[in-house]
Amino acid sequence: ELKVEQNPLFLSMQEGKNYTIYCNYSTTSDRLYWYRQDPGKSLESLFVLLSNGAVKQEGRLMASLDTKARLSTLHITAAVHDLSATYFCAVDKEGATNKLIFGTGTLLAVQP
Amino acid sequence: DVKVTQSSRYLVKRTGEKVFLECVQDMDHENMFWYRQDPGLGLRLIYFSYDVKMKEKGDIPEGYSVSREKKERFSLILESASTNQTSMYLCASSLTSSRPKGAFFGQGTRLTVV
């Protein structure tokens, strides 16, 4: 059974600090997705990582993928309040067409 | 832009009622999904459909069924609602050919069963 684990579940950080969210998954997959969810809103796609060693960056967020370690990271640089949200990683379930399995999510609160 | 629309933002139903949650997408996507979201558990896949009239169970199908009679519409049915089905329900859709883009989500339906 495919399992996706994120940590931490909750992250409170100060503006200007750096931090990393980790996403581990239990079976082979070379497609990993990061989504953002604002309170009361739906999920918005942030990054799609398609191959081992893939790195994508947008603004203060950078995502990377290590398929051998079955690990993806979402790095936050110099956090600002606008980044406060819940972040989810998801992977394709092996052998299934875009059947996404999600992690538990990380609630990020950036304090002034 | 892809649009995935769920028929209700909020629903309150009584225990034992039959409940229909509707989802419509306007971009001719083959794949459609229903997830439920609960605090601390992330999103869990209930059912998905990869074509009209085709469906496959997700990780938590018990107590639910689905219907996909037309490509653009995917319905989630709670045969006899129970209080443990109180949750946020999210519908999503995706194109098989552009799989790397992942799934697009609707705005969610918050269902309360009393």
Using CB atoms, which residue from A4, A42, A101 is nearest to B108?
A: A42
Instruction: From first to last of the 114 residues of chain B, give the pLDDT tens digit.
Output: 668 999 999 999 999 999 999 999 998 988 899 999 998 888 999 999 988 989 999 989 999 999 999 999 999 999 999 999 999 999 999 877 655 567 889 999 999 999
Per-residue pLDDT tens over the stretch A27-38: 777 688 999 999
Q: Tokens 């931090």 map to which residue? A: A19
CB B108 to CB A90 under 8 A?
Answer: no
Would strands A32-37 and B73-78 be described as parallel, antiparallel, or unpaired? unpaired
Contact assessment for residue B33 and residue B66, using Cβ atoms and an 8 Å cutoff: no
Three-state DSSP class for residue A81: helix
Counted residue by residue, chain B has a size of 114
Distance separating alpha carbons of residues B22 and B5, to the nearest angstrom: 8
Per-residue pLDDT tens over the stretch A49-89: 987 888 999 999 999 999 889 999 999 999 999 999 999 99
Best probe of the A interface among B43, B47, B93, by most A CBs < 10 A, is B43
Phi, psi of B80 (to 5 degrees): -150, 95
Distance separating alpha carbons of residues A1 and B96, to the nearest angstrom: 23
Q: Quote the pLDDT of residue A92.
A: 78
